[in-house]
C-alpha cells in the first residue's frame, strides 16, 4: 500500500482537498482532527482518524495537507516537516510570522516540497493577465485595485458564522487574513511591497470576535506600482475583481463574470473568457496537481513558502498600520 496522505483538519477546506485528492487518484489517507466538524463525514470512515498528531505521523505519511484553523497551521507543519512530509498549507501560512522562517529552513534542509494554497494563481485569466502585463500590453503599469467582498454568514449556511475560524481572532480569522488572496496575487503580479497603510473596521451586525470585517489597504510596490485592496465580509451579491491601469490601457478581471477585459486608449475593448467547463474548484484541482507533481520529483513548488511569508507579512503590516494610526474601529 502506498504511503498515506495526512489531512490535518476536516472542515470545508479539508473536505475539499480530500475529495480533490480522490479525484486525482489518491486512495490512502490518515486524518488528524478535533472531531468537531459541523457537517457529517461518513466518507472518511475507511481510514484512520486521530486527535493525536504523533499518532497520525507514526503512520509515516509522505504528504501533509495542512487545512486546520490558521492559528494552528505552524504547529502541524513543523511537526510534519520534521517527520519528512511534503507540505501543502492552506492560506494564509499562519496568523503571525513566528516560526515561519524556521519552517522554511526545515523544508530547505530536508529537501521537501512546500506549497501555500493560494489557488487564484491558477485562474486561467489571472495567468493570462500576468503574461500580457509582462509583455507590455498596457504599457507601464501605474496602479491596480482589487476588490473582494462576500457576506460571511452565507459561506457555511449550516453553521453559526460567529463560531467559524474566519470570524474568530483567536484562530487567525478576520477579513485581512482570511481573504489574503489579493495580497498574494498582487505580489505575484508586481513584486515586493515596500510600504503598507490600512484602515480596518468591524461591522457590528456580524458580531465577529476578530473585529476586522472591512479593510482598505494601500500598497506601494518596489516596482513603483500603487495598489489598493478592498476586503469585506458584507457584500451581497459577492464581488471579486481586479483592475490594472497602464499608460497605454486598462485591464479588468472579474471572477464572477469569468471575464478579462482589455481596454485600449481609443475605448475599444477585447474580452477574454474562462474556458468552457471552468469552475471554482478547477483552481483547487490544478493547484493540488501542481503540488503533487512537484513533490513526486522533490522540486520547489510554484507557490513556495517565501511567497506565503511575503503575503502574510503584508497582511500583518496592514493590521499593524490600522492599529498604529487608530484606524481600527
d(CA 240, CA 144): 14
What are the pLDDT digits (tens) for 94-108? 999 999 999 999 999
The answer as to whether 43 is a domain residue is yes
Angle between helices 124-134 and 181-190 (to 10 degrees): 30
The answer as to whether 189 is a domain residue is yes
Would you call 152 helix, strand, or coil by DSSP? helix
What are the pLDDT digits (tens) for 285-302? 999 999 999 999 999 999
Q: CA angle 219-220-223, nearest 5°? A: 130
Same-domain check for residues 197 and 102: no
What are the pLDDT digits (tens) for 38-64? 566 788 999 999 999 999 999 999 999
Q: E strand or H helix at 292, and its extent? A: helix 280-296
Among 53, 84, 112, the domain boundary falls at 112
The answer as to whether 290 is a domain residue is no
Q: What's the confidence (pLDDT) of residue 42?
A: 84
Grid coordinates of 47: 481510514
Among 48, 79, 112, the domain boundary falls at 112
The answer as to whether 301 is a domain residue is no
Same-domain check for residues 87 and 182: no
DSSP 72: G
The answer as to whether 220 is a domain residue is yes
Smallest Cα–Cα separation from 66: which of 45, 80, 56? 80
- Which are the contacts of 182, defined by CB distance < 8 A and separation ≥ 6? 146, 148, 229, 231, 242
Smallest Cα–Cα separation from 119: which of 152, 90, 155? 90
pLDDT band per the 50, 70, 90 thresholds, residue 1: very low
Q: E strand or H helix at 311, and its extent? A: helix 305-324
Grid coordinates of 52: 493525536
What are the pLDDT digits (tens) for 138-174? 999 999 999 999 999 999 998 999 999 899 999 999 9
Q: What's the confidence (pLDDT) of residue 295?
A: 98
- In 59-168, which ranges are continuous DSSP H helix? 73-82, 100-109, 124-134
Q: What's the confidence (pLDDT) of residue 2?
A: 83
Percent of the chain with pLDDT over 90: 93
Q: What is the mean pLDDT of the chain?
A: 95
What are the pLDDT digits (tens) for 242-259? 999 999 999 999 999 999
Grid coordinates of 85: 512530509
Same-domain check for residues 132 and 50: no
Grid coordinates of 28: 490512502
The answer as to whether 303 is a domain residue is no
Same-domain check for residues 131 and 99: no
Same-domain check for residues 249 and 130: yes
Among 67, 85, 112, the domain boundary falls at 112
CATH number of the domain enclosing 34:
3.40.50.720
* Inter-CA distances, 269 with 207, 252, 266, 284, Å: 43, 10, 9, 30
Same-domain check for residues 226 and 255: yes
The answer as to whether 304 is a domain residue is no
On the question of pLDDT at 208 being above 70, the answer is yes
Same-domain check for residues 160 and 237: yes
Same-domain check for residues 187 and 255: yes
The answer as to whether 299 is a domain residue is no
Q: What's the confidence (pLDDT) of residue 327?
A: 56
Smallest Cα–Cα separation from 133: which of 249, 17, 222, 46? 249
Count of domains for the chain: 2
Same-domain check for residues 266 and 148: yes
Same-domain check for residues 88 and 162: no
Question: Where in the sequence is the domain holding 76, given as residue range(s)?
Answer: 5-112
User: What dihedral do alpha carbons 193, 194, 195, 196 form, nearest 10°?
Assistant: 20
CATH number of the domain enclosing 204:
3.30.360.10
Average confidence (pLDDT) over 179-198: 98
Same-domain check for residues 133 and 187: yes
Same-domain check for residues 107 and 204: no
Amino acid at each position: 500500500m502506498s504511503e498515506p496522505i495526512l489531512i490535518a483538519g476536516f472542515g470545508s477546506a479539508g473536505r475539499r482537498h480530500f475529495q480533490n485528492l480522490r479525484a486525482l487518484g489518491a486512495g490512502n489517507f490518515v486524518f488528524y482532527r478535533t472531531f468537531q466538524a459541523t457537517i457529517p463525514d461518513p466518507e472518511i470512515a475507511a481510514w484512520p482518524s486521530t486527535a493525536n498528531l504523533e499518532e497520525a505521523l507514526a503512520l509515516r505519511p509522505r504528504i501533509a495537507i495542512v487545512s486546520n484553523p490558521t492559528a494552528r497551521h505552524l504547529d502541524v507543519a513543523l511537526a510534519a516537516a520534521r517527520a519528512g512530509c511534503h507540505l501543502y498549507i492552506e492560506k494564509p501560512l499562519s496568523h503571525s510570522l513566528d516560526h515561519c522562517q524556521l519552517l522554511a529552513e526545515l523544508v530547505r534542509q530536508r529537501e521537501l516540497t512546500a506549497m501555500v494554497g493560494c489557488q487564484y494563481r491558477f485562474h486561467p485569466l489571472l495567468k493570462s493577465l500576468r503574461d500580457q502585463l509582462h509583455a507590455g500590453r498596457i504599457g507601464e503599469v501605474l496602479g491596480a485595485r482589487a476588490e473582494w467582498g462576500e457576506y460571511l454568514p452565507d459561506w457555511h449556511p449550516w453553521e453559526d458564522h460567529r463560531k467559524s475560524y474566519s470570524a474568530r481572532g483567536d484562530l487567525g480569522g478576520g477579513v485581512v487574513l482570511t481573504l489574503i488572496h489579493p495580497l498574494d496575487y498582487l505580489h505575484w503580479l508586481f513584486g515586493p511591497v515596500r510600504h503598507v497603510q490600512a484602515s480596518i473596521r468591524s461591522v457590528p451586525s456580524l458580531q465577529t470576535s476578530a473585529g476586522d470585517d472591512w479593510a482598505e489597504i494601500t500598497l506601494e510596490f518596489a516596482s513603483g506600482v500603487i495598489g489598493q485592496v478592498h476586503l469585506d465580509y458584507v457584500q451581497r451579491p459577492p464581488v471579486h475583481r481586479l483592475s490594472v491601469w497602464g499608460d497605454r490601457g486598462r485591464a479588468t478581471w472579474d471572477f464572477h463574470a469569468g471575464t478579462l477585459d482589455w481596454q485600449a486608449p481609443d475605448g475599444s475593448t477585447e474580452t477574454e473568457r474562462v474556458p468552457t467547463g471552468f469552475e471554482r474548484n478547477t483552481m483547487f484541482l490544478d493547484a493540488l496537481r501542481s503540488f503533487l507533481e512537484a513533490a513526486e520529483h522533490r522540486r520547489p513548488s510554484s507557490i513556495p513558502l517565501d511567497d506565503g511569508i511575503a503575503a502574510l507579512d503584508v497582511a500583518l503590516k496592514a493590521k499593524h498600520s490600522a492599529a498604529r494610526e487608530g484606524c481600527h474601529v
